[in-house]
Amino acid sequence: MQWSPLKLTFHVRTYAFGERLIPERLGKSGVPEGVVAETWEVSDHRDARATVTTGAFAGRLLHDVVMEHPHELVGQGWHGPHFPILDKFLDASHLLPVHLHADDETARRVYGEPHGKTEAWHILWADPGATILAGVKPGLSQDDLRAAFKAQDYDAAMPRYPISAGDTVYVPGGVIHAFGPDTLIFEVQQTSDLGQSVMPTDLYGNRLDPGEWETNIDAALAELRTHYLPRPNPGLERAGDPGNRYVVGCAGPYFALERWTLTASHREPAHPWRCLTLSNVGDPVRLVYDGGEEGLGRAESCVLPAAIGEVTISPEGDHASLIACYVPDLERDILTPLRAAGHTDDAIRTLGELAV
């Protein structure tokens, strides 16, 4: 069977922190009027499963294709309950809730879910002065944290860092975080939607009953991890096709994220051990593969199946800007190429959870 790029339907979330950055600044078409806080670009989450729109599998759920062809789509030897990563665009015109997501152990023990939600944010646009809140300041007790959350004094509990376009922030499950206002990001994460907020309102801005707010804070504190302090990172450049720039923004056991700036054609070699998701944050490109070609417009995403073979990606204008995500073999895909590019192990460690 000849595999082709899988373009997908996307799902929209209308949470209170969003406005219209995704259509108006990023240029995504086909979104509804009103608030567009998130578009789930590549999703096999059970509440928002994408449908394939192109090729031999058009009209079928991504989930069904994954289950029928796990090795050809996701990668040789892969098995799991769903596609392993979820990609989205996210508009934080307003502050996100201060919240965390369960790690794998908590997801299994508390929720009966197969895994938690580690995520990373790649900053596409941020107003001067935009910041993130991430992690917990050293030396604070749970009583200190509870008091800060009740007072809505998040700076008393959490470090704040400035961000700018091109930064990436790796956030393991269990680490409390928020960002915004005036920020537009691309997010890659494990396929999960578990979360606990410490805010007095829900995702749609509705005020919670005081007892429910207290319960949520207690639940978040029970899941909180303090071992990791996320920081914005400009990434590390690796070698690639001449005339193009490839920056590894983050890496860990669940996913890696790279930003590609292409002024010439990019040759993506065959890698039957893993698939690749591509999200276009610039001008249109053409994807040429054995058996055909496919366009990828601005703010569109697709999956390059593991079995597709070599793919050539060419800008249709002067340059292209793409975000590529995949589940890495950390030694082969991250450590070896970054060391070859001259980066130290200390620098590589800043990309995420890496045993270097």
| Residue 27: per-residue pLDDT | 98
CA nearest to 189, candidates 175, 161, 170, 213:
170
CA atoms within 13 A on the CB side of 279: 27
| Residue 356: per-residue pLDDT | 77
| Residue 46: per-residue pLDDT | 96
Q: Are 317 and 293 in contact (CB under 8 A)?
A: no
Q: Are 129 and 103 in contact (CB under 8 A)?
A: no
What string of DSSP letters covers 19-57?
Answer: -SHIIIII---SPPSS---EEEEE-EETTEE-BB-SGGG
| Residue 291: per-residue pLDDT | 87
Residue 162 in tokens: 């400035």
User: Could you identify the residue written with the tokens 């070699």?
Assistant: 269
| Residue 355: per-residue pLDDT | 83
Average pLDDT for consecutive 10-residue bins of the chain (356 residues)?
A: 95 98 98 98 98 97 98 97 98 98 98 97 97 98 98 98 98 98 98 98 97 98 96 97 96 98 97 98 97 96 98 95 98 98 98 90
Q: Which domains does the chain have, with CATH numbers?
A: 6-223 (2.60.120.10), 236-349 (2.60.120.10)
Q: How far apart are CA 79 and CA 236, in angstroms?
A: 30
Quote the longest CA-to-CA distance of the chain.
62
CA atoms within 13 A on the CB side of 297: 5
| ∠ Cα 231 119 229 (to 5°) | 30
pTM, two decimal places: 0.97
